[in-house]
Structure 1
């Protein structure tokens, strides 16, 4: 296992996807609103998700040069989407948003971890 991503570009792609997700979440389109409402997350807490995603972006990008930071951020992204998966299952909100957004990002984060840090 490496403490710096090798290759680095999958980590950058994950950071870009999370950054886009965070920016979209500032004024969430219907599919994001439906997702957050579907898991019963109170609207006054939506800003926390934006902060978490932006911190993950920073960690992933800093981690390209600073040993261990990217690995920790990548594991944190996986934990975030595992928690989101749990919230979806618990709320029984298993619509398209769950399969594409939540599980899609979880699989993407796991693939980046395996490709850039493990294999």
Structure 2
């Protein structure tokens, strides 16, 4: 396993998706509000999700050139979406948002890890 991604585009793609997610989370559309309310995430803390996503995206981009940074950011994104999946399951909020958004992002993050650092 290398500490630099084998190709630059998978971490860049994940970073772009996370930045889009963070931008939408600044003024969340209904489906994001419903999701966060569904897992009972306190509204006073919603801003932290924007910060986490922007920092993760930054780490993925910087890590294209800095050894270990993209790997750490990618593992952090996986941990983030694993925690989100647990929150969905514990709240019994396992509708479309769980299957498409939460698990879809988890699958993307795992795929980027495999493509960039394992294969």
- TM, length-normalised to structure 1: 0.99
Unpaired runs of 5+ in structure 2? none
Q: Give the aligned partner of residue 64 of structure 2.
A: 64
Q: Which aligned segments of 4 or more residues in structure 1 are displaced greater than 4 angstroms?
A: none
Q: Could you tell me which residue of structure 2 aligns to residue 8 of structure 1?
A: 8
Partner of 1:37: 37
Q: 2:88 is matched with which residue? A: 88
Is the aligned partner of 1:109 residue 2:109?
Answer: yes
**Residue correspondences, number:** 119
Residue 27 of structure 2 is aligned to residue 19 of structure 1: no
The residue aligned with 2:54 is: 54
Please tell me the root mean square deviation across aligned C-alpha atoms, in Å: 0.4
Q: 1:6 deviation in Å?
A: 1.1
Paired residue secondary structure (1:25):
helix
Structure 2 CA distance, aligned partners of 1:8 and 1:91? Answer: 37
